[in-house]
Structure 1
Amino acid sequence: METDVSTEAFPYLTRLDILYATGEVIDVRALVAANSHPWYNQTLCRVNQSVVRLGVVQGEYHWHKHDAEDEFFYVVSGHFLIDLEDRVIDLQPGQGFVVHKGLLHRPRAPEKTVILMVENAGIVPTGDA
């Protein structure tokens, strides 16, 4: 079952369906090549109680937080910034960062950037209301 999160308030293409089952080869390059949306997220697989998501992003996400879950971001290619209230985390390919639960943050990418995210399977990507 495919679940997309996309509203006028949040103009992102977020697919929460699990695309690959355990034991399947995950072809990240093919997904990146097939995508043209400026802020695309696809859940790739489930690992225990977490999911691994692919992001192909450019531009800004909105300020938000997750009250009960941490988020891990890993940059595959491009340039990824995470604005925090007191600093900016500047990530290059091969670098990652954990945003601690409850921390207000805004991800952004000044160029087309490919990231992997690891987070609790029940997280609401757009943040807690």
Structure 2
Amino acid sequence: MTNEPVSVDEIIAGLPGPFQQRELAVVNDAVLRVARLEGEFPWHWHDEDELFLCWDGSFRLDLAGQRPVTLNAGEIFVVRKGIEHRPVAEEPSHVVLVERPETSQYGN
């Protein structure tokens, strides 16, 4: 990381394809990552909470045993640790994730 501003839109433009992530910043005990969502991501879960901020577009979070949650640009949702989930995007959209640096994209 540098001491220069980071353009989220520029980093999004450089993402190579669906579900590819790029780290934006590390702050205290958290990392901000951006990813392009398109289609269905595999079901997974984490040992920690995961914050989803819909940057643009719209996507759905399927949650095991719960009603799905749809996020539109500017909306935030936290998937609590241990909840099996998967993002689903009918059209390309982008998400900013706030999680621990060691969090695996495909969960536990």
SS at match of 1:30: helix
Distance in 2 (alpha carbons) for counterparts of 1:100 and 1:47: 20
Moved segments of 4+, more than 3 Å: none
Residue 24 of structure 1, CA deviation:
2.1
Distance in 2 (alpha carbons) for counterparts of 1:101 and 1:90: 19
**Pairing partner for 1:122 from 96, 102, 105:** 102
Counting aligned pairs with the same residue, the percent is 36
Aligned-residue RMSD, C-alpha: 1.2
Residue 28 of structure 1, CA deviation:
1.3
Structure 2: gaps (5+ residues): none
Q: 1:113 is matched by which residue type in structure 2?
A: S
More relative contact order, 1 or 2 (CA 8 Å, 6+ apart): 2
Change (3 A) 1:122 1:35: closer
Q: Is the 8 A contact 2:15 2:21 kept in 1?
A: no
Name 2:6's counterpart in structure 1.
26
Aligned residues: 107
Residue 44 of structure 1, CA deviation:
1.1
Structure 1: gaps (5+ residues): 1-19
**Pairing partner for 1:84 from 56, 59, 63:** 63
SS at match of 1:39: coil
SS at match of 2:20: strand
